[in-house]
Structure 1
Amino acid sequence: MTEEQKKKLEQKLWDIANTLRGKMNADEFRDYILGFIFYKYLSERLYIYANTVLSEDGLDFADVNEDSDEGRAILDAVAEASIDELGYFLKPTELFSAIAKRGSKPGNFILEDLARILNSIERSTMGAESEDDFDDLFSDMDLTSNKLGRTEEAKNTLIAKVLTHLDEIDFELDKIESDVLGDAYEYLIGKFASGAGKKAGEFYTPQQVSTILARIVTTGKTRIKSVYDPACGSGSLLLRVAKEVAVGDFNGQEMNRTTYNLARMNMILHGVHYRNFDLKQEDTLEHPQHGNKRFEAVVANPPFSAKWSANPLLLNDDRYSQYGRLASGSKADFAFVQHMLHQLDDNGTMAVILPHGVLFRGAAEGQILDRVVSAAARLNVRISRRAAA
């Protein structure tokens, strides 16, 4: 796919999102349109893989009879292979194109079927290695919300239009590199972020900024074993590192559930195998989820001067104990730095964005800074006092 074709794909997707949301705010419609694009991606990817499995038998997955004994046996075999390789499974009647076609016909009510299908994707992973990566993945797509319409008919009409328009776009997953669709998806995330004002920083780091951070932690390397972001948002910064070098596995933590779902979708849409990313949803400073793991690259654009508990008991935590002081409850910036240094491997590189003036604070932050500088020297980390304007 050429750069021009890629831009056309991005524009098509944005036009669908922008023209069909009606009176709904862009950030409210975001979760629906991004969720439906992801569902379409999962469907097309499953369809291609299933046909590969069935190629020796000369069968087309979409034509398998789900109600016959033979058909059920075929689907069981495909499901086992698919869950192991892709992490999930869909039946032929659950594919995006199938329900989009049903929704395009006047009088067909598809909301209940659609809700069941999205739930079925999650249930197909239960007990599998991929279960955590798909758990509650579509929880933000409330198909009963009045934001979609005042009546059930209005909601159904809007969703059917979205599915119909998306169904007209061929993602060409068998012809293009995985990053093409992933980049288009991230383009949409960026577009939604541009209209979200101050809230945008909660889920998206501007591409120019993330590129600088990614290049800092990958300088002189062609491959890194692992990358970690303690405030990973939608995962854009983690994925930007992979634009610079090959990455073994991606790790991150995000407190906001909606943003955490976006990050997991973003990983999968960029072709990152479910075994190669470990994203967790929790408060990083209070409840870190990656234990004593160490990472070769650590990057972050944490929330500036966020409030946190600064609970004195945390002075017993290995992340903070060596500094003797905790960052103030009204400014968690240095708490993130301490946490990141703790997770950094001996041969690793760390890059973090902090608010202007953070390197010149006194009191507890000043004492922590002095010890961070000492720790950084031991870790061969260079700290600059030049803060971005």
Structure 2
Amino acid sequence: MTEEQKRRLEQQLWNIANTLRGRMDADEFRDYILGFIFYKYLSEKMLAYADSILEQDGLTYLSIEEAQAEGEEILEAVKEEAVAELGYFLRPSELFGELAKRGGAKGKEGVSTFILDDLTRILNNIEQSTMGTDSEEDFDKLFEDLDLQSTKLGRNEQAKNDLIVKVLTHLNEIDFELYKSDSDVLGDAYEYLIGKFAAGAGKKAGEFYTPREVSTVIARIVTTGKDRLKTVYDPTCGSGSLLLRVAREAKNSEEVEFFGQEMNRTTYNLARMNMLLHGVHYTRFDIRQEDTLEHPQHEMDRRFEAVVANPPFSAKWSANVTLETDNRFSQYGRLAPSSKADFAFVQHMLHYLDDNGTMAVILPHGVLFRGGAEGHIREYLIREKNWLDAVIGLPANIFYGTSIPTCILVFKKCREKPDDILFIDASAHFEKQKNQNYLRPDDVDRIVTTYRDRTETEKFSHKAALSEIIQNDFNLNIPRYVDTFEEEEPVDLDAVTAELKALEASMAGTDKTIADFCAELGIKAPF
């Protein structure tokens, strides 16, 4: 599929999403449209897989008679293999295309066939088909945000049904091209929609979406120098897009295992759908739902090769005294303040970082210079551990929901260049589009290349020796290390003086003209 065709598909999906717009907020109609796209994806995967295993018997999945004993026997055999391979099962009559056709068929009074009850049952059956299997956790309550009884869908049951049928019918007309083994068109379109919803979700957007350009910078940084990547972990994974972006930068992207945790239940569902839509087998991802700092869900002795995150900026957390003995925080001697959990996320992530791994985290600029417990932790990371590898300043207003400038901190437990810390100031390198700033492809390339080559460029990057950091009392504020001051052109005082004299002469002539007019009128001049 060409880029133009991909853009056309993305626009088609966005137009269908807008069928629900006006009835509910962006984050609400997001849940419906993404949920329906996911249901269509599962159906097409199921149909393709079933047809492939039935081909040797000269059968197609849709030709099976479900009401016949022989048909049920075949379906049981297909179910056993499908659950093992795909992780779930759908009967022929439960497939998206079949349901959309039933809904599109008009009844005697010219109204859509009622399918809401069938849709509710089918979505529940998908989850039920995984019960007691290895994929149960990955599909548990995956469709719980699709409230088909919501009054926002319509005034009555028929109005709700008509709207849902309209959406399903439009979606059914789109070919996702899942039969092309090298195609990730649907995954790309899904992420496009997530980004579009984030743009309209205001402050809520930061909970689930990292702009693609920033994700690309992070992904390229943590895969620098690695031909193969085994594992990637994101403790605040949102929709999972950052995890997936990291895998794309790895040469063995189809082997990478994904680990993540997300507190928001709706976003947690979104992340699991996103994984499956990108063709990630259910055995290759482990996404958990809980508060990462208070209740980490992955084993404390696990270590990951790449660790990435875009945590909520300066979020509150308990900073409970009992956490002082927690292995994630105990060595630092201080907990991050309860009013700002930024360094708590850093400590958590470093605990899970493998000795040969790289970690990149997006944080507000305050982490670079704030004192107190944060200053203590920052000093410990540099003086005692020497794990901080780079500080990258990003432009303001590149994240949805906040206009504050941010930075990327890069950490390594075994640094190749342990004698200095690289500072990059990319804050002035962006393009402004409407109300948002964006990193251009050249901006992304320049940041990544500078990091990889550790080059120093005037007004852009500087390698600060550890002695320089110590001299600045471990204050990492970027302008201390990268001087971006632009000198103004010198002022020609003689020229300015001559210009002022010329103005005075001109004003004197004007004053005389006004005085003459006033004399003719017999009135007093105003000066």
Question: How far does residue 23 in structure 1 lie from its aligned partner after superposition?
Answer: 2.5
Counterpart among 147, 151, 162 of residue 146 in structure 1? 151
Between the aligned partners of 2:159 and 2:422, the Cα distance in structure 1 is 56
Question: How far does residue 179 in structure 1 lie from its aligned partner after superposition?
Answer: 1.8
Matches within 5 A, 1:25-64: 25-64=25-64
* Equivalent position of 1:294 in the other structure: 303
* Equivalent position of 2:484 in the other structure: none
Helix, strand or coil for the counterpart of 1:219?
A: coil
The CA deviation string for residues 255-276 of structure 1, in whole angstroms up to 9 with x for no partner, is: 0000000000000000100000
CA contact (8 A) 1:359 1:385 kept: no
Counterpart among 253, 257, 264 of residue 261 in structure 2? 253
* Equivalent position of 1:68 in the other structure: 68
Q: Which runs of 5+ in 2 are unaligned?
A: 388-411, 428-527
Helix, strand or coil for the counterpart of 2:143?
A: coil
* One-letter code aligned to 1:41: Y
CA contact (8 A) 2:184 2:278 kept: yes
CA contact (8 A) 1:227 1:251 kept: yes
Between the aligned partners of 2:214 and 2:381, the Cα distance in structure 1 is 23
* One-letter code aligned to 1:114: L
Between the aligned partners of 1:125 and 1:187, the Cα distance in structure 2 is 29
Question: How far does residue 22 in structure 1 lie from its aligned partner after superposition?
Answer: 4.0
Helix, strand or coil for the counterpart of 1:173?
A: coil
* Equivalent position of 1:318 in the other structure: 327
* Equivalent position of 1:243 in the other structure: 248
Aligned identity (percent) is 70
Pairwise CA RMSD = 1.4
TM-score by length of 1: 0.97
* One-letter code aligned to 1:271: G
Who wins on radius of gyration, i.e. which is larger?
A: 2
Counterpart among 364, 373, 380 of residue 355 in structure 1? 364
Between the aligned partners of 1:21 and 1:366, the Cα distance in structure 2 is 46
Matches within 5 A, 1:44-123: 44-106=44-106, 107=111, 108-123=113-128
**CA gap 1:387/1:354 in 2 versus in 1, 3 angstroms:** farther
Counterpart among 401, 413, 419 of residue 379 in structure 1? 413
Helix, strand or coil for the counterpart of 1:319?
A: coil
CA contact (8 A) 1:338 1:372 kept: no
TM-score by length of 2: 0.72
Q: Does 1:271 align with 2:279?
A: yes
CA contact (8 A) 2:261 2:292 kept: yes
The CA deviation string for residues 69-126 of structure 1, in whole angstroms up to 9 with x for no partner, is: 1101100110011001000000000000011011112341111110100000000000
**CA gap 1:178/1:253 in 2 versus in 1, 3 angstroms:** farther
Q: Which of the pair is proportionally richer in helix?
A: 1
Helix, strand or coil for the counterpart of 1:325?
A: coil
Question: How far does residue 214 in structure 1 lie from its aligned partner after superposition?
Answer: 0.4
* Equivalent position of 1:124 in the other structure: 129
CA contact (8 A) 2:259 2:286 kept: yes
CA contact (8 A) 2:176 2:185 kept: no
Q: Which runs of 5+ in 1 are unaligned?
A: none
Query: For this pair of structures, how many residues does the alignment match?
Result: 389
The CA deviation string for residues 151-201 of structure 1, in whole angstroms up to 9 with x for no partner, is: 111111110100000001111211253421101100000000011122111
Matches within 5 A, 1:83-232: 83-106=83-106, 107=111, 108-175=113-180, 177-232=182-237
